[in-house]
Amino acid sequence: MNANDAIVHTSKLTKFYGKRLGIEEVDLDVKRGEVFGYLGPNGAGKTTTIRTLLDFIHPTGGSATVFGLDTRRNSIEIHRHVGYLQGELKLYGNLTGKDLLRYLGNLRGGIDWNYVKKLASRLDCELSRKISTLSHGNKQKLGLVQAFMHKPEFLVLDEPTQGLDPLMQQEFYRLITEARNEGQTVFLSSHILPEVEKVCDRIGIIRQGRLITVETIEVLKSHAVRQLEIHFAGAIPKDRFIGISGVRDVVVENDMLRCNVIGSLDTLVKVAAGFEVVNILSHEPSLEEIFMTYYNEDKNNVK
Ligand SMILES: Nc1ncnc2c1ncn2[C@@H]1O[C@H](COP(=O)(O)OP(=O)(O)O)[C@@H](O)[C@H]1O
Ligand SMILES: [Mg+2]
């Protein structure tokens, strides 16, 4: 396999559940060695995409390859090199965590058990209780250990931090960074923008079954509208703030300026610095607002 090959490549990948849309015409590439975030609200089609890639469900249109192998014909070979955390974890409830890891590890073979122990301890994993008695967060941690335990070439993690407490989330982000440093490729889905921002190189945004865009975080943010509120020591003239590139919807009330900014804040901040600034409040764009930016751009681009 060529080292430059895309780890994932999909072509018009489509899945309908009967008449119900799962995903439609998704064209996606995940590059070797990157951490790719698959971002979208609940019901957007994240799990559908992942399950199709791993051949747990079959596409109703289009096709996909993982490691250059066709997902329909080569799923067994693909699974050998994938670590997978499923969205709604349903594990063998009667086993203890330790039993489960032993069982899965023996199926795979070639496991470094010292590494597994280290993983379990880093994630503070409850290994001696029956899985059916574990909280969602503890199941999730076990799910993560089994996804990472064989140091797979490709990690596919469906909403991996759901149910993890903040400390464990930090540990998880460290695991992802280490995986990237080891040259592993990561595909992780999430509905939380700050989370993918933290760890991902690129993100794809999916909504209502359609992949809206694939970008680096920097580019996404530079397209997004940010709300800014600047408080000054005294009244300011509104006209000085009109006509600055990227700045719109300017409202001035005595010593307060409110506006929307697209892209760099630099020019606005330099104009503001001509007056005594008391406070600057910046409202970071939410996932929904970034979606809307893209939707509006789409509309504007319609000829
Ligand atoms: N087994 C199924 N049968 C019918 N519709 C489904 C099934 N699984 C998912 N869907 C629908 O497909 C769409 C995408 O769901 P899903 O891939 O689970 O989204 P996400 O993982 O982003 O929350 C939703 O509208 C959902 O209701
Ligand atoms: Mg899901």
pLDDT > 90? residue 194: no
Please indicate whether residue 160, judged by its CB atom, sits closer than 6 Å to ligand 1.
Answer: no
Domain that holds residue 125: 6-216
Residue 114, token pair as written in the block: 């010292």
What total number of domains does the chain contain?
2
Ligand that lies nearest to the alpha carbon of residue 38, given by its number in the listed order: 1
**Per-residue confidence (pLDDT) for residue 193, from 0 to 100:** 80
pLDDT > 70? residue 90: yes
| Atom in ligand 1 nearest the alpha carbon of residue 22 | 12
Residue 302 binned pLDDT confidence (cut-offs 50, 70, 90): very low
192 and 256 part of one domain: no
CATH label of the domain that carries residue 264? 3.30.70
Residue 303 binned pLDDT confidence (cut-offs 50, 70, 90): very low
Distant-in-sequence contacts of 106-114, Cβ < 8 A, 24+ apart? 108/80, 108/150, 110/150, 111/149, 111/150, 112/151
For 71-100, what is the mean pLDDT?
A: 89
Residue 104 binned pLDDT confidence (cut-offs 50, 70, 90): very high
How far apart are the CA of 40 and the centre of ligand 2, in A? 9
Element (H, E) at 8: strand 6-17
How far apart are the CA of 274 and the centre of ligand 2, in A? 49
Residue of 254, 253, 257, 287 lying closest to 269 (CA atoms): 257
137 and 275 part of one domain: no
pLDDT > 80? residue 294: no
Tens digits of per-residue pLDDT, 211-245? 999 999 878 777 778 889 999 999 999 999 999 98
189 and 129 part of one domain: yes
Please indicate whether residue 152, judged by its CB atom, sits closer than 6 Å to ligand 1.
Answer: no
Domain assignment of residue 110, yes or no: yes
Residue 295 binned pLDDT confidence (cut-offs 50, 70, 90): low
Please indicate whether residue 48, judged by its CB atom, sits closer than 6 Å to ligand 1.
Answer: yes
Q: Which residue has the least CA distance to atom 9 on ligand 1?
A: 22
Residue of 148, 67, 156 lying closest to 111 (CA atoms): 148
pLDDT > 90? residue 299: no
Are 95 and 130 within 8 A, CB to CB? yes
For 114-130, what is the mean pLDDT?
A: 95
pLDDT > 50? residue 3: no
Please indicate whether residue 56, judged by its CB atom, sits closer than 6 Å to ligand 1.
Answer: no
Ligand that lies nearest to the alpha carbon of residue 158, given by its number in the listed order: 2
The Cα–Cα gap between 293 and 290 comes to: 5
Domain assignment of residue 58, yes or no: yes
Are 134 and 97 within 8 A, CB to CB? yes
Mutate to test the pocket of ligand 1, among 24, 47, 189 (most ligand atoms within 8 A of CB): 47
**Per-residue confidence (pLDDT) for residue 30, from 0 to 100:** 98
| Neighbouring C-alpha atoms within 13 Å toward the C-beta of 242 | 5
Domain assignment of residue 302, yes or no: no
Domain assignment of residue 301, yes or no: no
Mutate to test the pocket of ligand 1, among 20, 60, 189, 205 (most ligand atoms within 8 A of CB): 20
Percent of the chain with pLDDT over 70: 92
The Cα–Cα gap between 162 and 147 comes to: 15
How far apart are the CA of 297 and the centre of ligand 2, in A? 27
Higher pLDDT, 194 or 294: 194
Domain assignment of residue 23, yes or no: yes
18 and 107 part of one domain: yes
137 and 182 part of one domain: yes
Residue 268 binned pLDDT confidence (cut-offs 50, 70, 90): very high
28 and 65 part of one domain: yes
pLDDT > 90? residue 111: yes
Are 279 and 255 within 8 A, CB to CB? no
- Whether this model's pTM surpasses 0.85: no
**Per-residue confidence (pLDDT) for residue 287, from 0 to 100:** 65
Alpha-carbon distances of 232 from 86, 119, 148, 228, 241, rounded to whole Å: 51, 51, 52, 13, 13
137 and 239 part of one domain: no
Residue 227, token pair as written in the block: 């709300």
108 and 230 part of one domain: no
CATH label of the domain that carries residue 102? 3.40.50.300
Q: What is the 3-state secondary structure (H, E, C) of 187-225?
A: EEEECCHHHHHHHCCEEEEEECCEEEEEEEHHHHHHHCE
**Minimum mean pLDDT range among 30-34, 88-92, 238-242, 249-253:** 88-92
**Per-residue confidence (pLDDT) for residue 286, from 0 to 100:** 67
Ligand that lies nearest to the alpha carbon of residue 191, given by its number in the listed order: 1
190 and 103 part of one domain: yes
**Per-residue confidence (pLDDT) for residue 226, from 0 to 100:** 84
Residue 131 is classified by DSSP as G
Please indicate whether residue 190, judged by its CB atom, sits closer than 6 Å to ligand 1.
Answer: no
pLDDT > 80? residue 291: no
Domain assignment of residue 38, yes or no: yes
**Minimum mean pLDDT range among 67-71, 153-157, 196-200, 248-252:** 196-200
pLDDT > 70? residue 59: yes
235 and 209 part of one domain: no
Domain assignment of residue 296, yes or no: no
113 and 238 part of one domain: no
Give residues whose Cβ lies within 5 Å of ion ligand 2: 46-47, 87
Tens digits of per-residue pLDDT, 153-185? 999 999 999 889 999 999 999 999 999 999 999
Domain assignment of residue 259, yes or no: yes
206 and 102 part of one domain: yes
For 38-56, what is the mean pLDDT?
A: 95
